Amino acid sequence: MFEFKLIASDGNARVGSFSTPHGEIPTPVFAPVGTQATVKSLTPKQLEEIGAILILANTYHLFLRPGDDRIARLGGLHQFMNWNKPILTDSGGFQVFSLAKINHIDEDGVTFKSHIDGSFQRLTPEKSIAIQENLGADIIMAFDQCPPPYDRELNERALERTHAWAERCLKAKTRPDQALFGIVQGGVFEDLRKKSAQFIASLNLPGNAIGGLSVGETKEEMFRVLELSDAILPKEKPRYLMGVGTPYDIVQGVARGIDIFDCVLPTRLARHTTALRTKDRLNLVNASYAEDPKPIDDTCECYTCQNFSRAYLRHLILAKEMLAATLLSIHNVYTLLKLTREIRQAILTKSFNTFLEEFQSP
């Protein structure tokens, strides 16, 4: 269980396969996000049809509603949401620091106000693991603190805490059928990032994640952090770049040794009338699409592009029909899944550099 087979590499880009209790995850992989135990507007059947394998769910949200204990009594998250392929849960850390009102943070954990009912709640490393064990995902994440990327002093203190919490998560963990991934933090500071990568690598976990990116730093800063992490994190373990998922960032992440990506982008854009393509986006509200009989992308094989015109999608959007979000989500998620399949193929045929050049050309 949790074996990572490195199948091929081309430069720093890798093709692999990560085994989990719910099947193999071919990497590089993009994981659609099912925050509240549903990838918004898509059925599990639709997700399967567009080729999704790994999906992500949010510990913070499911802890607050419907409650991880309730999900455990209903057979765990896979059964609850009817997803029989691999699931990854985050630790709740990022959401506590971005969605909730923090009441108190100390070495032991975080007290915060629920964004749903205003009640006081507390998360600690041990509690995060207990929740994630109730949910029962294949991959679970260490509880971490996510400070703003440019505050040196805060990042120093948060890093110590994140490292201590990672050790406590590992100690608290009891289920052998879940892989705990550690998270490298350290903002934009190279020395902190190096220190963090070395520490997280030393825990010898089945996988390692890079957190705290795509939160306001420049692309150059993000790429530098990825490059130095790539040099330190063990090559024989999968690397997961958390919360990152534009086509550009996926390609650049793979070029820097990343295997796993997740992002709400494709489904969020879909709910905001925007179609994602590999090199651009279409905002389908635009009047120019009113009688456009073409699909979003005439090279795309997804259900939406095979069957519906831009004019129809625009009509659904203006008429405020739910089907708009569903059809756009199908296309947007498919686009990222197809991109990772193409990347795998390019690495397998040692043509990733050509792929990268073509991708960067206008």
Q: Which two tokens stand for residue 299?
A: 């090279």
The residue ranges that bind its own copies (CB under 8 A) are 36-38, 40-46, 61, 65-66, 70, 73-75, 80-82, 290-291, 293, 303, 307-309, 311-312, 314-316, 318-319, 321-323, 325-327
In this complex, which beta carbon is closest to its own copies, that of residue 236 or of residue 291?
291
Tell me whether strands 4-10 and 87-89 are parallel, antiparallel or unpaired: unpaired
Q: Which residues, in sequence order, are CB contacts of 303 under 8 Å at separation 6+?
A: 46, 49, 50, 327, 330
Compute φ and ψ for 110, nearest 5 degrees. -130, 130
In this complex, which beta carbon is closest to its own copies, that of residue 90 or of residue 144?
90
- Provide the minimum distance between the beta carbon of 298 and its own copies in the complex, in angstroms, as a whole number: 16
Tell me whether strands 23-27 and 179-184 are parallel, antiparallel or unpaired: unpaired
In this complex, which beta carbon is closest to its own copies, that of residue 64 or of residue 140?
64
Q: How far apart are CA 76 and CA 87, in angstroms?
A: 11
- Provide the minimum distance between the beta carbon of 268 and its own copies in the complex, in angstroms, as a whole number: 13
In this complex, which beta carbon is closest to its own copies, that of residue 292 or of residue 342?
292
In this complex, which beta carbon is closest to its own copies, that of residue 182 or of residue 295?
295
Tell me whether strands 281-283 and 13-20 are parallel, antiparallel or unpaired: unpaired
Q: How far apart are CA 89 and CA 67, in angstroms?
A: 14
Q: How far apart are CA 82 and CA 93, in angstroms?
A: 25
Please compute Rg for the chain using Cα positions: 20
- Provide the minimum distance between the beta carbon of 333 and its own copies in the complex, in angstroms, as a whole number: 14
Identify the DSSP state of 50.
T
- Provide the minimum distance between the beta carbon of 243 and its own copies in the complex, in angstroms, as a whole number: 20
In this complex, which beta carbon is closest to its own copies, that of residue 46 or of residue 351?
46
Residues counted in the chain: 362
- Provide the minimum distance between the beta carbon of 271 and its own copies in the complex, in angstroms, as a whole number: 9
In this complex, which beta carbon is closest to its own copies, that of residue 74 or of residue 164?
74
Residue with tokens 């896979």: 78
Q: CA of 96: how far to CAs of 67, 85, 114, 188, in Å?
A: 16, 27, 9, 21
Compute φ and ψ for 40, nearest 5 degrees. -50, 125
Q: Where are the alpha helices (DSSP H) in 206-322?
A: 219-232, 247-255, 265-271, 303-307, 310-318
Q: How far apart are CA 243 and CA 275, in angstroms?
A: 19
- Provide the minimum distance between the beta carbon of 39 and its own copies in the complex, in angstroms, as a whole number: 8
- Give, for 88, the enclosing helix (H) or strand (E): strand 87-89
- Provide the minimum distance between the beta carbon of 52 and its own copies in the complex, in angstroms, as a whole number: 15
Q: Which two tokens stand for residue 362?
A: 């206008």
Residue with tokens 């947007």: 332
Residues classed as catalytic: 90, 262
